[in-house]
Amino acid sequence: MMEDPYRNYAGIYDRLFDSMNKGLKLVGIRMFRPSKGMNILDVGCGTGSHLELYQRYQCNLFGIDLSPSMLEVARERLGDSAQLDLGNATEMQYEDDKFDLVISMLSLHEMSPDTRSTVLNEIKRVLKSDGRLLLIDFHPGPYKPMKGWISKTIIFFSELVAGRKHFKNYRQFMATGGLATLLSQNQMDIEKQSILAGGTFAVCLVFEDN
Ligand SMILES: C[S@@+](CC[C@H](N)C(=O)[O-])C[C@H]1O[C@@H](n2cnc3c(N)ncnc32)[C@H](O)[C@@H]1O
């Protein structure tokens, strides 16, 4: 069986990060306001706290995650209001052109460069042609004093304790320009963007460049 890097963190993940991350998620919802009946997929849904914010819009909610322990927390939180699937986002079970919106927060930076591109291709496949991708992830600055410096320091140490592979992928993601570079390498365009928390986070609404 594959190792679950979140086994020891799933139970405390929300206590550590939920209040810090909620404001970023709300910025994302303002960028793309869901309408009733839309199909929405959260890639790397973790404990389900992001999908929970979409419950009020009466959409069809789906989440996929590699970590059984994170998904267990998500299942307790969301019950049957979302379809939650254990799986790798490199190879998703969903049919082509299914989703109006795919969201993904803090998942891409921890993947290897090859995995990121494969996952973006899978996201393109499952998105409708006029669908949108909402990404929230770390931003490589410039950082504003003092807020940005403090936030950057907290991020750096939380990535450091997340394990060697995770930290290596995070460093590569930051050194190569974060979401902006990744998206342009994968023929995706940013329609709207907010840089927040003193330059340490980016919220991007993205569409496929056909
Ligand atoms: C830092 S957590 C973020 C969780 C959630 N998106 C949030 O913002 O609270 C990253 C999540 O991405 C998941 N993940 C990483 N690589 C994945 C992959 N290839 N397929 C599916 N999930 C993945 C991890 O298991 C983890 O739950």
Cα of 104 vs centre of ligand 1, distance in Å, is 8
Residue 19 neighbours by CB distance under 10 Å: 9
Could you report the per-residue pLDDT of 135-192, keeping only the tens digit for each?
A: 999 999 999 999 999 999 999 999 999 999 999 999 999 999 999 999 999 999 999 9
Structure tokens at 124: 């393109």
- Report, as an integer, the average pLDDT of 11-15: 94
Cα of 106 vs centre of ligand 1, distance in Å, is 7
| Overall residue count recorded for the chain in this entry | 210
Evaluate whether 87 touches 66 at the Cβ level (below 8 Å): yes
Residues with CB under 6 A from ligand 1: 6, 21, 44-47, 49-50, 64-67, 70, 88-90, 105-107, 110-111, 115, 119
pTM of the model: 0.97
Cα of 193 vs centre of ligand 1, distance in Å, is 21
- Report, as an integer, the average pLDDT of 74-82: 97
Residue 11 neighbours by CB distance under 10 Å: 14
